[in-house]
């Protein structure tokens, strides 16, 4: 097993566990009940997955699915649910600048006092760490919850980047996937923060659960890699049907459209439409992002129509050439047919040479 592969696999999963434990700590501090520390036991699943991956896959990833990302979702999403449902009423009077000033002032005072002691630098570092932890504990719950949301989405993208890839996915495909995840994470964060910050939404417990359910549903696209990988297809009898051929040729594009319509932009549009239509909640950002979801859904449907028409034109073109049984999604097949045609022509030339060449010996005589 390569050293870098092992290091990336372990460090990434360690970051996942640490972030999950921070979320459990915040839930326990907000609820003031030690029983919520039991949520930390979910990290045992991630530890088990790490051992199995190192043993059977030598630390590398799987095809089309990332178990580490999926288990990270399982470990972290419950804590964020509890924090959003609790949403403490603590007044956020601690501005970020004020927190930094308090920490720096206390650190300065403690460093001045500790310089007269015998322990020196070690004592100063310990005292600074204690002050920093105490200041973090005074930050209001809403700021903590938003920070956990932000770091959660960032770790999903960075963790997918650091995790060792399998042999089925290339670096080019991984880069495309990461760029898609960055835009997806920004949309998901905006959806959760913008809708849950509405005062009328906070008063409706059912509506909060519905929004969090849609948010959780949208997070399920992160463990999947189907948006950049094409499904292999061969012209067998089972794949000569039109739907199978369409999926064979445009598997990545169709998955991308399906994610947008059924996992992200479609559900987001439905939730925002309900907020405006049924609950009469209107604000500038809600209207803007609703229009944005409508535009994205429309463009995705337009893209689906373009793909269907292009596929239909390809099928008709091949049927006219007598290649109905050929799978239009395999690029190597066209070259195979071309090489076969060239071989046939060469055999005909050899079998029937030109008359001028056959008469050449007689003229010499």
Domain boundaries, given as residue ranges, for the chain: 1-89+138-227, 230-234+241-321
Q: What's the average model confidence in pLDDT over 187-216?
A: 92
Identify the helix (H) or strand (E) that includes residue 36.
none
- Nearest partner of 226 among 263, 253, 244, judged by Cα: 253
Q: State the pLDDT confidence band at 99, using cuts at 50, 70 and 90.
A: very low
pLDDT computed for residue 306 by the predictor: 93
Whether the pLDDT of residue 111 is over 50: the answer is no
pLDDT computed for residue 227 by the predictor: 63
Rounded-to-integer distance, Cα 255 and Cα 225, Å = 10
More confident residue, 93 or 307: 307
Structure tokens at 241: 């049907």
pLDDT tens digit sequence for 294-333: 999 999 999 999 999 988 888 888 777 765 444 555 443 3
- Nearest partner of 95 among 53, 143, 23, 164, judged by Cα: 143
pLDDT computed for residue 232 by the predictor: 59
CB 51 within 8 A of CB 193: no
More confident residue, 2 or 108: 2
Rounded-to-integer distance, Cα 285 and Cα 288, Å = 5
Q: What's the average model confidence in pLDDT over 239-251?
A: 72
pLDDT computed for residue 143 by the predictor: 87
Cα separation values, 175 from 29, 152, 162, Å: 39, 20, 12
Please state whether 184 falls in left (phi above 0), alpha (psi between -120 and 50) or beta. Answer: alpha
């Amino acid at each position: 097993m390569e050293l870098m592969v092992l290091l990336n696999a372990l460090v990434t999963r360690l970051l996942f566990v640490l972030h999950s434990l921070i979320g459990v700590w915040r839930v326990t501090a907000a609820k003031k009940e030690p029983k919520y520390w039991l949520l930390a036991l979910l990290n045992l699943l991630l530890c088990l997955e790490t051992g199995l991956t190192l043993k059977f896959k030598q630390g590398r990833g799987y095809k089309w699915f990332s178990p580490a990302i999926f288990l990270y979702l399982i470990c972290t999403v419950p804590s964020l649910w509890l924090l959003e449902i609790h949403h403490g009423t603590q007044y956020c009077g601690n501005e970020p600048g004020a927190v930094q000033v308090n920490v720096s002032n206390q650190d300065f005072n403690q460093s001045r006092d500790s310089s007269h002691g015998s322990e020196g630098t070690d004592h100063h570092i310990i005292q600074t760490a204690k002050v920093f932890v105490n200041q973090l504990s005074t930050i209001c719950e809403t700021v903590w919850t938003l920070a956990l949301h932000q770091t959660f989405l960032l770790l999903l993208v960075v963790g997918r980047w650091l995790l060792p890839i399998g042999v089925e996915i290339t670096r080019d495909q991984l880069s495309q996937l990461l760029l898609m995840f960055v835009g997806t994470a920004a949309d998901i964060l905006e959806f959760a923060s913008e809708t849950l910050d509405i005062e009328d939404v906070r008063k409706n417990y059912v509506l909060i659960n519905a929004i969090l359910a849609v948010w959780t549903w949208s997070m399920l696209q992160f463990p999947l890699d189907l948006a950049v990988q094409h499904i292999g297809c061969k012209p067998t009898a089972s794949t000569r049907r039109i739907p199978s051929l369409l999926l064979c040729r445009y598997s990545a594009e169709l998955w991308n459209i399906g994610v947008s319509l059924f996992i992200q932009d479609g559900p987001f549009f439905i939730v925002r439409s309900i907020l405006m239509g049924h609950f009469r909640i209107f604000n500038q950002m809600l209207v803007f992002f609703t229009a944005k979801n409508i535009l994205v859904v429309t463009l995705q449907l337009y893209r689906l129509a373009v793909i269907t028409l292009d596929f239909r034109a390809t099928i008709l073109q091949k049927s006219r050439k007598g290649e109905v049984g050929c799978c239009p999604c395999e690029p190597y097949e066209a070259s195979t047919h071309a090489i076969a045609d060239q071989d046939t022509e060469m055999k005909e030339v050899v079998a029937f040479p030109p008359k001028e060449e056959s008469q050449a010996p007689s003229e010499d005589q």
